[in-house]
Structure 1
Amino acid sequence: MAEGVANDRYVFWLGSGISRERMPDLKSLAKRILISLQGQIEQSNPHCRFRAALDSVIGHAGPSADECNSIDYSTSPESWAVFEALAGRLVNNYARMLGVTVDGEEADYLLWDVLNAAAVYSDPAILPDAEHLCLAALAMEGAASEMPSANWDSLVEKAIEILAGGRPIQRVAIAPGDTRAGRRRTNLYKFHGCARSALEDPAQFRPLLVARQNQINGWVASNPVMASVLINLIVTKPTLMLGLSAQDSNIQSLFASAQVQMPWHYPTHPPAYAFAENAVGGDQESLLQNVYHQEFNAGTRASIRTDALVQAFAKPLLLALLLFVLTEKLRHLVREGFPAIQEVDRAKLAEGLGNGRNLVAANVTSSADDVMSLITKIGRTMTMLREGALPNAASGLYSPVSAEPLELMTANPNLAAGGIAEFAVALSLVGLGLDRGLWAVGPNTSAPDPGAFGLVGRSGAAKIFFAGDHRAAIRLTTNGLLADNDDAVVVHSQSNPVPMHRSPRRPPGRTGLALVREVSVEELLAEGTEVEDLLERFRNKVAL
């Protein structure tokens, strides 16, 4: 499955689970509706419209006779003994709950007025979580070009705005006409509407907020353009569901319709359907039955469930996929950039990259802060490699290894000339040295001018810079990122440029060793590609 993601084979179907730590969950919404309706009841009026609406909402929770007798409409629901139980049951009946109408009010009164969903789900103060940041980075790497989303929030869009800046990376389709806009590197289909758009232009986008049961049941018939786009995605690319239970009837209908047009057969590689869950849920199993029909039988049922289950939730899974994609791209650059390297040596270099990846994975959590820090460091490293500068908000904080999926990298003529293949070799050697105890990861020197990362060897600590070409190398100095008496190593992809005078930034430190050491991967490879010898020569040059 991870290889499929690296090659942009999967459609990422997004549900509320990826925003659960940023946006109100369905149980919280149910509680707010119960409290709001009760608070507006005219206690002296047995025919009060809010009483009638509250009756309907509670009815969708299926209370027992004893539970009904315990409910007192004259007191706040928070004091009811069954309050938590009712709210919990309404989670799986959220569309029916939101479909309850109040006499004299618009059909979407509960969503628009009681929950204030447009404002709540578009709150500019709410920042993207780890899932949204990883999706944005994967999209920029060309590995997540199609993302249908049932979510009203704009956290994926916001994450891409942070990482890509003003670059035209993303197309967002909400209304039917949006599908006519030119495709971009990633395409987000908000088929249940968008809170931010509804708040900004309620006349056009308020009706597109899908929440009520009747809207869901009639969605396919009422949205033929978007439905046909999504069905085409299901037919042509495998499905990866992230935080999406697939309980809504319109989603089930889309997959059933796609199966009629051109079914996926079991088994497929990569798996045609994958769910990031602890277990395959009832609605997801129903979906598998719809798409596989007779192939979902007594002999295959267990193995289909097993193949479809990715037993990790979206937060750790997306971080793992991002690390996998980056590592495989770097391995591809080593493999395709230097065909003269023998297979046994190429395998060692690939192992070095894997060591580095695993070290990163062991020292980063899937918290938003850690993920943002990691992505920012990657963006800083790649921007210094290419530009000899630090990234900025206008151009985005992230710079991908390549803008295309793994299998299309060979067709990019700019990769060969950008020094990135040599950069991949250098990272491979660093990873091998880490595994063999030649050096360890150490703290960078203090901001504002850290290198890509810090290493500590027997001779002390140093920050590591990478320069893809002579222009980037020169700009590391002219931009003030590198000074003469920095404890630093500059790893050049090309031949070493003529040394430039750099102004010191601090009093001299240790003596007897040139503080800024420079090594050329191009020159190292010209002297020989046998990895053990290459690593020893690299080690001598970096002098750690």
Structure 2
Amino acid sequence: MSTATTISVAETIDLLDGPLSSFSAGFQAGLYALWLGSGISRERIVGLDGVLAKLLENLRLRITGADCEHHRAFEKILTLADLSPPEKAQIDFTQPVASWPIHDELINRLWNKYSKVLGTEIQGQPLDYLLWDILDFPTTFAAQKADAEHLAIAMLVLEGVVLDLATANWDGLLEAAMVELGRPNETFRVAVTGGDLHGPPGIGTLYKFHGCANRAIENEADYRPLLVAREAAITHWAQNQRFTQMREQLRALIARSRTLMIGLSGQDTNIQQLFGANGWVWNSVPVPIVFAAQDLSEGQKSILEGAYQGDYEANREQIRADATLPAFGKPLLLALLLSTLCGKLAALTGLLTSPAVGAVGKQSLAEGLKALERSAAQAGNANRYDCARTIAALIGRVSDQFLGGQGSAGRRRYMPLSLQPAHLMQQDPAVMLSGRPEAAAALGLIGRGLAANKWSVAVDDPEQPTSGALRLVAPAAQARVFLAANDENINQLVASGAFDEEDADVVVMCSRKVTPRQQRSPSASWRTGKASPRYVSVSDLLDGSPSFDEIQNRFNSEVGL
């Protein structure tokens, strides 16, 4: 049986479609604010970027003797790890920390005591000496690389289903994710104090209530004192007048939005106190407070007790069960992203007006889209970081091709399916004129073919100009599938080098009518035996078919695999 650690992206989607369907629907409707903790950044801060390991190594390099302050500080930190005598014997201060046999275990034991480590004092130095000087804070946090969680969150923000995020992390990984997606830092409105909210709004508001690394590096005088990293600083945060407005804003956020907490154990008392008496009823649907966890920590249980107060004791077992979502950040956020994208595409097919589609046809298209969603989840589970990057690059590529016929090389700027949740997207009259409902229908028909084993689906490198939306692979042939809003976009795709009029492995799904095309050399097919690209007018297909079964049959025939 899968746990929150081992669960796959596809299994997480099964949870979202099954027992957690009300939560999933609420999330996709924009009802939840994200509360994020160190768990979503662990592989960057501790693993790949090795910030904690860097801290230990830099501290070791400052040691001048057994009686120096840096050696005493290191010994205090080792005490936090509760090492056994045999483990202590593996420590050699004359050698790099990374070479110690105990290195990995040491890092793991100190990870959950990060604030205690950073609270270790050096006589005669500022209280944040370990953080700012030993760790070389300005260099370490100046340019960090986003992970799968941060990319998924950034895309969910751009898709308009997450408007508010509160985080105890001061790293710049969420901002880095936006940059990687081709969006500027200003996409987020970052708030460390209430005064930071006085500026222009962003697509999402990021409440960094323990401080912001980027701001501290850019403006050390004002923002370095606001970095809350040491245990004592966390304890006194609730009384620190510098954060008065931030506390008010966070309490208001808790009162107006449901909470999804990821990578945050809730052990800090300042966070527990914020959730007291917030006005939510414990058995509301969807559930007001959800934790991405296998088992709730004592801190998370304390949050629930404070939030529901008089109702908690009698209903605590059900409250805890309802609040537990057994999937950690990577599988959960990728599953939520795929579910959101699939849900938006299904909502687009709901706007189709062709009599041949009808309610049954729309449900069939939704099932086809779910087949594509599952295929993406299964393919992306092995390397979730690559999965997030591929989703971002693919949507950027397809959006440029669909709307502008762009086929140049390189990563494309992420362009959301819509800036709003699905229920608001459906009310936008411009959507009906955009060709997107027809494009979503084409993807649904492809998904139905996938489910019927007519073909499998793959993705080419989205950074290559000749890659399309998908590659269909059948036993006897393959095809690159391009999506185009109108006939002019097809001309632009050819002009930009996405494909050639003599490419036999191309299928173009055009939302509108397609002008009949002639090969560059009329006799080429006769000489070489090659067919030209197949152009499918989705609107003609939908409006010119007497039934949905006929739509699918004609579609399969025109794809030609």
Alpha-carbon distance, 1:135 to partner: 0.9
Deviations 1:305-352 (A, max 9, x none): 211111111001111111100111111111133374322222111111
Quickly say closer, same or farther: Cα 1:473–1:219, change in 2 above 3 A: same
Deviations 1:210-229 (A, max 9, x none): 11223212223320111111
Q: Which amino acid aligns with 1:276?
A: A
Matches within 5 A, 1:129-528: 129-166=147-184, 169-222=187-240, 223-256=243-276, 259=277, 262-297=278-313, 299-338=314-353, 340=355, 341-365=357-381, 366-390=383-407, 396-441=412-457, 444=460, 447-457=464-474, 460-487=477-504, 488-499=506-517, 514-528=531-545
| Alignment TM-score, normalising by the size of structure 1 | 0.87
Provide the secondary structure at the position in 2 that maps to 1:171: strand
Alpha-carbon distance, 1:39 to partner: 6.3
The partner residue of 2:553 within 533, 536, 544 is 536
Say if 2:460 and 2:471, in contact at 8 Å, map to a contact too. Answer: yes
Alpha-carbon distance, 1:426 to partner: 0.7
Q: Which amino acid aligns with 1:347?
A: Q
Alpha-carbon distance, 1:276 to partner: 1.2
Instruction: Answer with 427-436 or 111-120: which moved more.
Output: 111-120
Quickly say closer, same or farther: Cα 1:118–1:464, change in 2 above 3 A: same
Match of 2:134 in 1: 114
Q: Which amino acid aligns with 2:271?
A: I
Say if 1:33 and 1:115, in contact at 8 Å, map to a contact too. Answer: yes
Quickly say closer, same or farther: Cα 1:68–1:453, change in 2 above 3 A: closer
Quickly say closer, same or farther: Cα 1:454–1:113, change in 2 above 3 A: same
Deviations 1:96-134 (A, max 9, x none): 442333222112112111222342233x2x421111111
Distance 2:410 2:457 in 1: 28
| Structure 1 residue ranges without an equivalent (≥5) | none
Deviations 1:429-470 (A, max 9, x none): 111111112233257599431221111346622211111123
Quickly say closer, same or farther: Cα 1:480–1:97, change in 2 above 3 A: closer
Alpha-carbon distance, 1:278 to partner: 2.2
Alpha-carbon distance, 1:409 to partner: 0.9
Distance 1:58 1:460 in 2: 61
Distance 1:231 1:266 in 2: 17
Provide the secondary structure at the position in 2 that maps to 1:20: helix
Alpha-carbon RMSD across the aligned residues, in angstroms, is 3.5
Deviations 1:256-292 (A, max 9, x none): 2xx2xx3211112221111112221121111111111
Say if 1:194 and 1:205, in contact at 8 Å, map to a contact too. Answer: yes
The partner residue of 2:35 within 8, 13, 16 is 13
Aligned length: 531
Alpha-carbon distance, 1:175 to partner: 3.9
Quickly say closer, same or farther: Cα 1:81–1:423, change in 2 above 3 A: closer
Matches within 5 A, 1:73-112: 90-112=110-132
Identity of aligned residues (%): 35
Q: Which amino acid aligns with 1:142?
A: G
Instruction: Answer with 54-63 or 477-486: which moved more.
Output: 54-63
Provide the secondary structure at the position in 1 that maps to 2:351: helix
| Alignment TM-score, normalising by the size of structure 2 | 0.84
Deviations 1:364-423 (A, max 9, x none): 2242123212321122112211111147879x5322111111221123222111100000
Distance 2:375 2:87 in 1: 56
Provide the secondary structure at the position in 1 that maps to 2:44: coil
Distance 1:469 1:459 in 2: 30
Quickly say closer, same or farther: Cα 1:433–1:509, change in 2 above 3 A: farther
Alpha-carbon distance, 1:501 to partner: 6.2
Say if 1:383 and 1:391, in contact at 8 Å, map to a contact too. Answer: no
Provide the secondary structure at the position in 1 that maps to 2:450: helix
Say if 1:70 and 1:80, in contact at 8 Å, map to a contact too. Answer: no
Say if 1:154 and 1:195, in contact at 8 Å, map to a contact too. Answer: yes
Distance 2:539 2:185 in 1: 32
Distance 2:111 2:450 in 1: 49
Provide the secondary structure at the position in 2 that maps to 1:450: coil
Q: Which amino acid aligns with 1:300?
A: N
Say if 2:194 and 2:249, in contact at 8 Å, map to a contact too. Answer: no
Q: Which amino acid aligns with 1:173?
A: A
Q: Which amino acid aligns with 2:44?
A: R
Provide the secondary structure at the position in 2 that maps to 1:466: strand
Quickly say closer, same or farther: Cα 1:70–1:449, change in 2 above 3 A: closer
Alpha-carbon distance, 1:7 to partner: 1.1
